[in-house]
Amino acid sequence: MALPEEVNALSKSFSGFGVDEKTIITILGKWQPEEWKSFRKGCPFVFTEDDRLFEKWNDEHIDLLEREFSRFKNAVMLWTMHPWERDARLAKEALIKQNRSYNVLIEIACTRSSEELLGARKAYHSVYDHSIEEDVASHIQDSNRNLFVALVSAYRYEGPKVNDEITKSEAKILSNAFKNADKKNPVEDEEVVRILSTRSKPHLQAIYKHYKEICKQTLDEDLEDGSSLKAVVMCLCSPLAYFSKVLNDALKSGVDEKTKVALTRVVVTRAESDMKEIKEEYNKEHGVFLSQKIKETTQGNYKDFLLTLIERGA
């Protein structure tokens, strides 16, 4: 008979987030056939008994385990690639996967600097023999297309100079567009697309400020939750808050794979830029240290790798 605490430890190490390699090795390695039997009986989410009274490994769990074992490998591969190639591959994946991840595209187009985005576009040429604009334009057929093509094509001015008159008038343009959202979807509004995809980030942050003064609400508060425009505005004007939210969602229990995979993505892609500030924002918003939450939620080599990455340059 297997000890109940060993069964528990083992089933935990097989349940994700990541896999607890050490536990698997120490416990599994020494078990005898009777211990195996009680494990199979005691873990219904891993093994199911069919009408022939044969306990076989659940197919869904096999998929889950494959994903969980790959997490560390994926994190390492993503980390080792050139940052530009990272973004290029993430963008491609976001376009072709069954459940499209517009958010990843928005993240890449809006939180990277102009040179980083340009580099990602160059890398995309090298890896896929197409431009990212081509693929975005031909894969996205809905009303978001114009906005997305414009966002990935952006090569924004990076200097600090901002024209106050223009930011005020453009804040008004945005507010009108959002107020008339029921008549015309703002994401299809030419002016909205123009402003969000061509203006420099300091310019957009000034618009954010003026918008609050005019409308008493902030830009993102006036937008629908989960809409692409809201994500765009958050990424452009308050990326730290955006990343902190994405991380928090990824670390919640019972979330789907799409949400979970963001943990690897955000940690790997921000470890060399603004991880320190993201950690501070996370702590401010959620009252707990990011490293603490990662320790509690993830396991094994995957956990150790993530913790090492977020401690860089701390």
Partner 1 sequence: MATLVVHEQNPSPVEDAEILRKACKGWGTDEKTIISVLGHRNAYQRKLIRQAYEELFQEDFIKQLESELSGEFEKAVYRWILDPADRDAVLANVALKSTTPDFRLLIEIACVHSPDELLAVKRAYFSRYKRSLEEDVASQTRGDLRKLLFALTSTYKYDGKEINKNLAALEAQVLHELIKEEAFSHEEVIRILGTRSKAQLVATFNCFKDQQNISITKSVVGDPDDAFLEALRVATRCIYAPQKYFAKVLRNAINKLGTDEEALTRVIVTRAEKDLKDIKQLYYKRTSVSLDHAVANDTSGNYQALLLTLLGSEDH
- The binding site for partner 1 (CB under 8 A) comprises 118, 121-122, 125, 129-131, 133-134, 136-138, 145-146, 149-150, 153-159, 161, 190, 194, 197-200
Query: Which lies closer to partner 1 via its Cβ, residue 147 or residue 246?
Result: 147
50, amino acid identity: D
Least Å from the CB of residue 114 to partner 1: 8
Question: With contact defined as beta carbons under 8 Å apart, do 18 and 68 qualify?
Answer: yes
Query: Which lies closer to partner 1 via its Cβ, residue 144 or residue 298?
Result: 144
- Report, in angstroms and rounded to the nearest whole number, the Rg of the chain calculated over CA atoms: 23
Instruction: Please calculate the CA angle 193-195-199 and round it to the nearest 5 degrees.
Output: 130
Least Å from the CB of residue 198 to partner 1: 4
Least Å from the CB of residue 167 to partner 1: 12
Beta bridge partners of 56: 48
Least Å from the CB of residue 159 to partner 1: 6
The region that residue 101 occupies, defined by phi over 0 for left and psi between -120 and 50 for alpha, beta otherwise, is: beta
Query: Which lies closer to partner 1 via its Cβ, residue 182 or residue 190?
Result: 190
Least Å from the CB of residue 153 to partner 1: 4
Counting other chains too, the contacts that 291-299 makes at CB distance below 8 Å and 24 or more residues apart are 293/251, 294/251, 294/263, 297/17, 297/251, 297/253, 298/17, 298/18, 298/263, 299/12, 299/13, 299/17, 299/18, 299/19, 299/20
Query: Which lies closer to partner 1 via its Cβ, residue 173 or residue 241?
Result: 173
Least Å from the CB of residue 235 to partner 1: 18
> Can you spell out the DSSP letters for 90-113?
HHHHHHHSSS--HHHHHHHHHHS-
Query: Which lies closer to partner 1 via its Cβ, residue 121 or residue 293?
Result: 121
> Residues 151, 132, 79, 295: what is their CA dihedral angle, to the nearest 10 degrees?
50
Q: 261: exposed, middle or buried (C-beta count within 10 Å: 0-12, 13-18, 19+)?
A: middle
Query: Which lies closer to partner 1 via its Cβ, residue 74 or residue 198?
Result: 198
